[in-house]
């Protein structure tokens, strides 16, 4: 069945009149050998997915113990997390600043569109971490009836409070469960530090 489907995909691609065709497959498709055999270029990308049918206690029990400790420390420091408390423009300004400080490549127009034009109240949410009423971290996720995708996260490292991003991610996983999503998907990253953190 997989080989038959792959053949149909290859036939479709060969009929396209473009110099380059790029096709992304869902994470459930893990065997790409039929494309290798026909000399297609296959570029693997990695993601991490959490089964949201598990209880929150089971999910957090699978966190690295260092992450659990950081979450507890952030909570003890008085970090509070608010839902959808910033406008899209405020989120854009925040992420533009935090991403810029990491040296990450940014597509500014796309970033602004995702944060200001895409949200409609039923397809995304943001969580904001505050300490003494000062914003020290944000997470932005999008979702559908099956999956919640972690799209962006950033923290103010000058706050001196460890575990802010860890806390925000835990809260976003819990929010995804509340929304009825089945899977929490980290969307992966090719940035080594981010990838190691997700892992």
Biggest CA pair distance of the chain: 60
Element (H, E) at 139: strand 134-143
Determine the straight-line distance between the first and last CA of the chain, rounded to whole angstroms: 32
Rounded distance between C-alpha atoms, residue 67 and residue 143, angstroms? 24
Say how many CA atoms lie within 13 Å of 56 toward its Cβ.
11
Read off the pLDDT of residues 74-128 as tens digits, 9 standing for 90 and up.
999 999 999 999 999 999 999 998 887 766 677 889 999 999 999 998 999 999 9
Give this prediction's pTM: 0.85
Phi, psi angle pair for 11, to nearest 5°? -65, -40
Cα–Cα distance, 171 to 148 (Å, whole number): 13
The H-or-E segment that residue 129 falls in is strand 124-131
DSSP letter at 55 equals: -
Q: What pLDDT band is residue 1 in, cutting at 50, 70 and 90?
A: very low
- CA atoms of 117 and 56, how far apart (whole Å): 32
Instruction: Kindly report, residue by residue over 20-68, the tens digit of the pLDDT.
Output: 878 888 887 878 888 888 888 888 888 899 999 999 999 999 999 999 9
Task: Using the Cα atoms of residue 106, residue 103, residue 74 and residue 52 in order, give the sign of their dihedral.
Answer: positive
CB-facing half-sphere around the CA of 158: CA atoms within 13 A: 5
């Amino acid at each position: 069945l997989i080989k038959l489907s792959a053949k149909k995909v290859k036939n479709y691609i060969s009929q396209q009149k473009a110099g380059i065709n790029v096709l992304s497959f869902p994470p459930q498709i893990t065997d790409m050998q039929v494309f290798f055999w026909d000399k297609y270029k296959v570029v693997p990308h990695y993601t991490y997915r959490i089964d949201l049918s598990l209880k929150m206690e089971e999910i957090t029990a699978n966190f690295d113990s260092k992450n659990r400790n950081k979450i507890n420390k952030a909570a003890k420091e008085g970090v509070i997390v608010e839902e959808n408390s910033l406008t899209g423009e405020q989120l854009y300004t925040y992420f533009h600043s935090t991403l810029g400080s990491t040296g990450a490549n940014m597509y500014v127009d796309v970033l602004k569109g995702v944060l200001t034009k895409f949200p409609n109240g039923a397809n995304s949410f943001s969580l904001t971490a505050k300490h003494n009423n000062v914003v020290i971290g944000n997470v932005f996720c999008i979702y559908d009836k099956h999956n919640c995708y972690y799209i962006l996260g950033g923290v103010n490292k000058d706050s001196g409070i460890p575990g802010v991003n860890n806390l925000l991610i835990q809260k976003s996983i819990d929010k995804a469960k509340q929304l009825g999503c089945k899977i929490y998907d980290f969307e992966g990253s090719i940035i080594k530090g981010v990838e190691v953190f997700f892992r």
